[in-house]
């Protein structure tokens, strides 16, 4: 213990942004994989809803010129991003309640790193859950129709969307006040995902609802993924080319980060 006493107290040092972000992200990832309930529940839930849509509702939903499974899977994995991100709100609220955030705020690290670490880790966990859902998608008959490179680009887009939505849910978790409230508030993803082009064509909805569905970010994101994954076959359900959807969806993602990241950081600093 002599070494300890001799070394200077609180030397002029601190971890930089990158190192802090990684250290904090590491904790979130470990927590996920060491909590079997989280891994299992997420996976089972994802599989269950996909199977229900594919086999229960699927037969009743006509999408014109395209097998429903091909229409559904891109929409399903895109909205799946939000369902994964929901957990972030609860996780952040828990960290606040349990004092972990206080500990981190009392350390000599950039405040934004705490949140960036969370967003990074959860975006990473998203890759895991996307891989699972996509594999199930293929298992129930989904096939891509475009070039491989486009399908991979679609996967990349999903991670970008996930990262963007993470910031919205981090903010939600910080203002909710308790994990239970955060979970409740996060349920707003249900109207957001259902009133979109994810599971049914927007054209089948009443006129007033079409207005909502067409102008919310998820629809354009779903369609971007669809356009890339289905290639020429997408023309049956989409009016524009892939570039049109991809550009707009990326703009939405950037907008979401631009609004929520500063909000979350400001809230974090205030304590």
Partner 1 sequence: MTRMVFGNEGEEGTMTPTIEARGLTKRFGRTRALDGLDLVAEPGQVVAVLGPNGAGKTTFVRTVATLIRPDGGELRVAGRDVRREPAAVRRSIGLAGQSAAVEPAMTGRENLQMVARLFGLDRWAARAASGEVLERLGLSEAADRLVRTYSGGMRRKLDLGASLVGRPRLLLLDEPTTGLDPRSRIELWETIHGLVGEGTDVLLTTQYLDEADHLASRIAIVDRGRVVASGTPEELKRRVGRNVIEVRVRHREDLSRAAEALRGLDDGAVRVEEATRRVRVATGAGPEQLRSALGALGAAGVETDDVSLRSPTLDEVFLALTGGGPVGPAGRAA
Q: 265 Cβ partners below 8 Å, 6+ apart?
A: 111, 112, 115
- The string of DSSP codes covering 32-46 is HHT-HHHHHHHHHHH
Pairwise CA distance, residues 134 & 270, whole Å: 40
Q: How far is the CB of 99 from partner 1 (least distance, A)?
A: 4
- Give the interface segment with partner 1, choosing from 94-102, 169-177, 204-212, 233-241 (CB under 8 A): 94-102
Interface with partner 1, residue 92, by CB under 8 A: no
Binder to partner 1 among 86, 109, 157, 200 (CB under 8 A)? 109
Binder to partner 1 among 34, 37, 149, 239 (CB under 8 A)? 34
Contact pattern from residue 48 through residue 87 relative to partner 1, giving x for each residue in contact according to CB under 8 A and a dash for the rest = ----------------------------------------
Tell me the backbone φ, ψ of residue 31, rounded to 5 degrees: -55, -45
- H/E stretch holding 75: helix 68-97
Interface with partner 1, residue 147, by CB under 8 A: no
| Closest to 80 measured CA to CA, from 180, 203, 215, 225 | 225
Q: How far is the CB of 29 from partner 1 (least distance, A)?
A: 10
Which residues are at the interface with partner 1 (CB under 8 A)?
Answer: 1, 3-5, 7-15, 19-20, 23-24, 26-27, 30-31, 34-35, 98-100, 102-109, 271
């Amino acid at each position: 213990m002599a070494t300890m006493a001799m070394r200077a107290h609180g030397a002029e040092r601190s971890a930089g942004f990158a190192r802090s972000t990684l250290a904090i992200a590491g904790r979130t990832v470990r927590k996920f994989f060491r909590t079997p309930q989280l891994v299992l529940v997420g996976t089972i839930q994802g599989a269950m809803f996909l199977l229900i849509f594919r086999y229960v509702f699927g037969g009743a939903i006509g999408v014109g010129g395209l097998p429903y499974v091909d229409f559904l899977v891109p929409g399903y994995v895109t909205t799946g991003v939000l369902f994964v991100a929901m957990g972030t709100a609860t996780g952040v609220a828990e960290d606040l309640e349990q004092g972990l955030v206080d500990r981190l705020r009392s350390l000599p690290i950039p405040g934004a790193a705490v949140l960036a670490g969370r967003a990074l880790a959860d975006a990473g966990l998203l890759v895991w859950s996307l891989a699972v859902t996509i594999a199930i998608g293929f298992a129930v008959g989904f096939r891509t129709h475009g070039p491989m490179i486009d399908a991979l680009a679609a996967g990349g887009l999903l991670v970008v969307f996930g990262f963007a939505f993470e910031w919205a849910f981090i903010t939600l978790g910080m203002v909710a006040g308790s994990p239970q409230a955060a979970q409740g508030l996060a349920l707003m993803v249900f109207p957001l995902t259902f009133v979109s082009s994810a599971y049914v064509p927007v054209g089948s909805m009443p006129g007033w609802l079409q207005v909502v569905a067409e102008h919310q970010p998820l629809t354009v994101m779903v369609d971007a993924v669809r356009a890339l994954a289905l290639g020429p076959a997408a023309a049956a359900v989409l009016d524009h080319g892939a570039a049109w959807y991809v550009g707009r969806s990326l703009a939405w993602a950037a907008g979401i980060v631009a609004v929520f990241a500063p909000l979350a950081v400001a809230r974090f600093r205030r304590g």
